[in-house]
């Protein structure tokens, strides 16, 4: 049995972990425990300052019998995040490369052997672009989804960029104004299925492979 404390950005990611990862991996002796990041006393959710995140990770890492990982969006990380101000960061070719660059800097900053940093490229909603057809179960007008189908035909989910107007969640909301992140997000992800998401999202898949290395 191996426990993994998973510090997540909000309720959507917490539900995703509970619905897709917990049941799937508990059979193999891998137990995910999602924990929503604290932003201030009595408030949880969102990565607003790295200074607030760092001590939470370090406290979790004190349990050396467990592994510690994260599910934070690459999109809109605070400027004080490790590696983000480095001049080489801007020269990284794409989202996958940027995430790897920041994850490496993050690991060097935390300096705990049981910490495995993970960033979603570019945000949680990218995973939902794995299969736009699944959205049709939740809309009365399938034509609303045509812009999303067009995006998916030209881009892989993790290639959908981080511009404030064109990030995955912004594109979904522009096409389907009824989208509610905390409600629809985990349900659509469940309908798509973990195997399909892994096939379409290589950075996410690489992270799960690291988690699976703990299975004995």
Angle between helices 95-110 and 202-212 (to 10 degrees): 40
Average pLDDT of each block of 10 consecutive residues along the chain (216 residues)?
A: 94 97 94 93 82 96 97 93 95 94 98 97 97 93 93 95 84 94 97 98 98 88
pLDDT of residue 140: 86
Which of 116, 109, 128, 124 minimizes the C-alpha distance to 54?
Answer: 109
The encoded tokens of residue 69 equal 């990982």
Name which of 185, 177, 182 is nearest 127 in CA terms.
Answer: 185
Rounded distance between C-alpha atoms, residue 157 and residue 55, angstroms: 32
Domains of the chain in sequence order: 2-123+198-212 (3.40.50), 125-194 (no CATH)
Length of the chain: 216
Position 164 scores a pLDDT of 76
Answer for the pair 52, 81: CB distance below 8 angstroms, yes or no: no
- Check residue 45 and give its pLDDT: 81
Please tell me the number of Cα atoms within 13 Å of 118 on its side-chain side.
Answer: 27
How many CB atoms sit inside 10 A of residue 199's CB?
11
The phi and psi torsions of 208 (rounded to 5 degrees) equal -65, -35
Looking at residue 177, what is its pLDDT? 93
Q: What is the pTM of this model?
A: 0.94
């Amino acid at each position: 049995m191996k426990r993994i404390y998973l510090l997540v950005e909000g309720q959507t990611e917490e539900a995703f972990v509970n619905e897709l990862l917990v049941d799937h991996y508990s059979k193999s002796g891998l137990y995910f425990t999602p924990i929503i990041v604290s932003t201030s006393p009595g408030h949880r959710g969102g990565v607003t300052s790295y200074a607030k995140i760092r001590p939470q990770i370090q406290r979790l890492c004190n349990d050396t019998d467990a592994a510690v990982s994260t599910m934070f969006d690459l999109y809109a990380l605070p400027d004080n995040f490790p590696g983000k101000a480095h001049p080489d960061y801007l020269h990284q070719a794409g989202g996958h490369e940027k995430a790897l660059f920041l994850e490496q800097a993050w690991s060097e900053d935390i300096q705990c052997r049981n910490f495995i940093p993970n960033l979603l490229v570019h945000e949680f909603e990218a995973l939902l672009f794995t299969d736009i057809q699944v959205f049709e179960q939740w809309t009365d007008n399938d034509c609303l989804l045509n812009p999303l189908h067009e995006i998916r035909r030209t881009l892989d989910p993790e290639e959908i960029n981080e511009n404030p107007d064109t990030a995955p969640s912004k594109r979904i909301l522009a096409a389907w104004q009824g989208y509610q992140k905390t409600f629809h997000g985990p349900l659509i992800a469940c309908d798509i299925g973990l195997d399909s998401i892994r096939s379409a999202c290589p950075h996410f898949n690489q992270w799960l492979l690291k988690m699976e290395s703990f299975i004995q």
